[in-house]
Amino acid sequence: MPRLSEILAATDAFAPLAGQAKSDNSGLITGDESREITRAICCLDISNAVIDEAVEKGAELIVSHHPVFNVNYESVSRFYQYMPITRLIERNICAICVHTPLDMTRGGINDELANRLGFEIIRDIFEIEETRDGRLWGYGKVLRLPKAYTARELAEYVKKAVGCPVLRLVDGKNEIRTLAFASGGSRRLSYMAMDEGFDAFMGGDFKHDQMIAAKNRGFTILDCGHYGTEIIAPDILLRELKRAFPDLHAERAQAETDPSEYIF
């Protein structure tokens, strides 16, 4: 069975940690690198429910997309008893997080989203934030549509292709032939897409003022949500773990769900 250091090296080879955004907290979060790993769980978020699942199944390692820390270090004491990092340490569970490197790497989340959407890729688009190694890596994509879509036609297509249960739409009342997109909290890139003359942008976590700006400019926004655009991450992480370590017992977390409920 592989040691934790070997698994960390494998994730780094697929999605290099040197290329993570400067504000990111990816890499080895907890655990002794010399520890042997026999069972691993892959997830989008290391929630308390996922940690409990790992304990129940005897998994020594959780590999996630999102980092464990989502509060300022100065605030840790206020939330200590509720934080996943506390449970990870107390239950002796190792954790590796592969956040922005998985967003940007070839074969990562945005490539997989492009595959699911099925349109021709024109080019990459780039995150505004510089990476730790000083380079700009491809983050989202710009796609050419095979025909002109209305906003509602495209929304129905995207909702089915991505597999998101709900989609917020700003109908720019425009003819859509190019679609820019990026996974997760990609709202900053919507202005870039507007300024560069694309017809629509798909992503997550859009703010009200951005939607007003899009409506004013006749630009279409498709908000599939942060969870909706990134829940494919565990499948990618699981694929790469199995490719690198065929004998490792690895699986997707079953306890993971969208933290939000939608009341219609």
Structure tokens at 129: 């934030």
**Architecture in CATH for domain 106-223:** 3-Layer(aba) Sandwich (3.40)
> Domains of the chain: which residue ranges?
4-101+230-252, 106-223
Q: Which CATH superfamily is domain 4-101+230-252 in?
A: NIF3 (NGG1p interacting factor 3)-like (3.40.1390.30)
- Per residue of the chain (264 residues), what is the pLDDT tens digit? 999 999 999 999 999 998 788 778 899 999 999 999 999 999 999 999 999 999 999 999 999 999 986 555 555 555 556 678 888 999 999 999 999 899 988 899 999 999 999 999 998 876 555 666 666 566 789 999 999 999 999 999 999 999 988 999 999 999 999 999 999 987 778 888 898 899 999 999 999 999 999 999 999 999 999 999 999 999 999 999 999 999 999 999 999 999 988 888
- The reply to whether 106-223 shares the fold of 4-101+230-252 is yes
Pairing mode, if any, of strands 61-64 and 39-43? parallel
- Please give the order of strands across the beta sheet that includes 176-181: 120-126, 138-149, 176-181, 200-203, 220-223, 168-170
